[in-house]
Amino acid sequence: QVQLVESGGGLVQAGGSLSLSCAASGRTFSSATMAWFRQAPGKEREIVTAISWSGGTTYYADSVKGRFTISRDNAKNTVYLQMISLKPDDTAVYFCAAKGGYYSVSASPYTYWGQGTQVTVSS
């Protein structure tokens, strides 16, 4: 069992930066693939980025490449999302998710989800 709690969301102006954290409980965190998804009002949940258990493999959606960075600290059971050059289109609720095995760009294979944190980027 893994419980995920996101933090760090907020309101930022376009061009600004934010960092999100996802703290996990449960002994399986270090072997889990972790991902960040986001969901804007009226839109489907979409993957933002993912990272393998070792941190050696990462995936980024085209829309965030070069602006967002995912990382993890298995000793602290935490995964991070650093976001720079934020755009109004990045406004969404951001969710942390975990699964075993290789990452998936679809939401359904992820077993565990956080409650989400709001990120709002003003123009």
Q: In the prediction, which pLDDT does 28 show?
A: 81
- What distances in angstroms separate CA 39 from CA 15, 30, 74, 102, 117, one per listed residue? 20, 26, 26, 22, 10
pLDDT value, residue 31: 87
Residues of the chain with confidence (pLDDT) below 70 = none
Could you tell me the end-to-end alpha-carbon distance of the chain, in angstroms, rounded to an integer? 40
Q: Are strands 10-13 and 117-122 parallel, antiparallel or unpaired?
A: parallel
Cα separation of 90 and 35, whole Å?
Answer: 16
